[in-house]
């Protein structure tokens, strides 16, 4: 119209790339510090339980889901998945509040781990036959079981990433992919015998509650949050 050149809107991936580079140094530093402090606290509680360790009960659903060695790679993918949300945040207020809520969520789990140490039962699996499991079992030892922070992180990330994908107007495929990745990680915690169903339910509740409270708190302050 009027000789003006029509400019096609940028794809959502281009917008996401811009968000990725915004405050990238702060995001990188925050991720490194959070991860370092998390693993120090996690392994301290794992290796030095303050009370008798409770073995979690096995339910019918745990017996129904077979051991799946290849699921270990999905299990490990959480640590990439977890970085998706902070990478796409575009304001310092969102970024700091996101980190704060993660810290609160982890702190709640750590208090539970301290007061009520738990572990998964011995499934009598020869881990040496499967790539990656020897290292995993030597380091993680399937303790700090309930609630599963793996699941809590996956649920919390899925809910927030759904909001961000909608904000960037990503298509239905990416919304589906987000939730599929989250559910795959949740499944992997059972398929790798790192957790049992009760751990998953508790972790899912913790992650969902943290996400709901955080997004509800953010909504009146940021109309961009659906």
Alpha carbons 155 and 102: distance in angstroms, whole number: 12
Which residues are within 8 A (CB) of 108 and not within 5 positions of it... i.e. 6 or more apart?
Answer: 206
The Cα–Cα gap between 13 and 169 comes to: 9
Task: Record the pTM.
Answer: 0.86
Instruction: Give, in order, the Cα–Cα distances in Å from 79 to each of 2, 60, 76, 84, 94.
Output: 51, 29, 6, 9, 20
Tokens of 146: 């309930």
**Tens digits of per-residue pLDDT, 74-123?**
999 999 999 999 999 988 888 999 999 999 999 999 999 999 999 988 77
> Is the pLDDT score of 69 beyond 90?
no
Q: Is the pLDDT assigned to residue 221 strictly greater than 70? A: no
d(CA 115, CA 109): 10
The mean pLDDT value for 37-58 works out to 90
pLDDT at 134: 66
Mapped onto helix, strand or coil, the DSSP state of residue 11 is coil
* Interatomic CA distance for residues 177 and 158, integer angstroms: 10
User: Per residue in 174-184, pLDDT tens?
Assistant: 999 999 999 99
Q: Report which of 118, 121, 122 is spatially closest to residue 145, judged by C-alpha positions.
A: 118
DSSP annotation string for 137-173: HHHTTTBS-SS-HHHHHHHHHHHHHHHHHHHTT--HH
Q: What is the pLDDT of residue 146?
A: 93
Residue whose pair of structure tokens reads 């049992």 in the numeric block: 196
Domains of the chain: which residue ranges?
Answer: 23-221
Which is higher by pLDDT, 128 or 170? Answer: 170
Predicted confidence (pLDDT) at residue 2 exceeds the cutoff of 50? no
């Amino acid at each position: 119209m009027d000789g003006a050149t029509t400019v096609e809107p940028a794809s959502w991936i281009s917008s996401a790339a811009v968000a990725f580079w915004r405050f990238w140094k702060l995001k990188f530093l925050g991720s490194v510090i959070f991860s370092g402090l998390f693993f120090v606290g996690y392994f301290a509680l794992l290796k030095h339980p303050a009370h008798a360790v409770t073995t979690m009960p096995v339910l019918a659903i745990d017996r129904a889901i077979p051991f799946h060695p290849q699921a270990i790679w999905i299990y490990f993918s959480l640590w990439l998945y977890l970085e998706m949300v902070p990478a796409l945040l575009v304001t310092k207020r969102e970024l700091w509040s996101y980190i704060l809520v993660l810290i609160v969520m982890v702190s709640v789990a750590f208090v539970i781990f301290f007061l009520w140490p738990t572990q998964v039962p011995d499934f009598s699996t020869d881990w040496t036959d499967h790539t990656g499991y020897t290292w995993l079992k030597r380091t993680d030892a399937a303790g700090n079981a309930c609630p599963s922070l793996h699941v809590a992180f996956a649920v919390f990330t899925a809910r927030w990433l759904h909001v961000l994908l909608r904000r960037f107007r990503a298509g239905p495929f990416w919304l589906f992919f987000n939730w599929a990745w989250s559910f795959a990680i949740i499944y992997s915690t059972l398929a790798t015998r790192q957790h049992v169903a009760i751990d998953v339910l508790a972790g899912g509740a913790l992650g969902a509650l943290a996400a709901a409270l955080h997004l509800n708190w953010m909504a009146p302050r940021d109309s961009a949050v659906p």
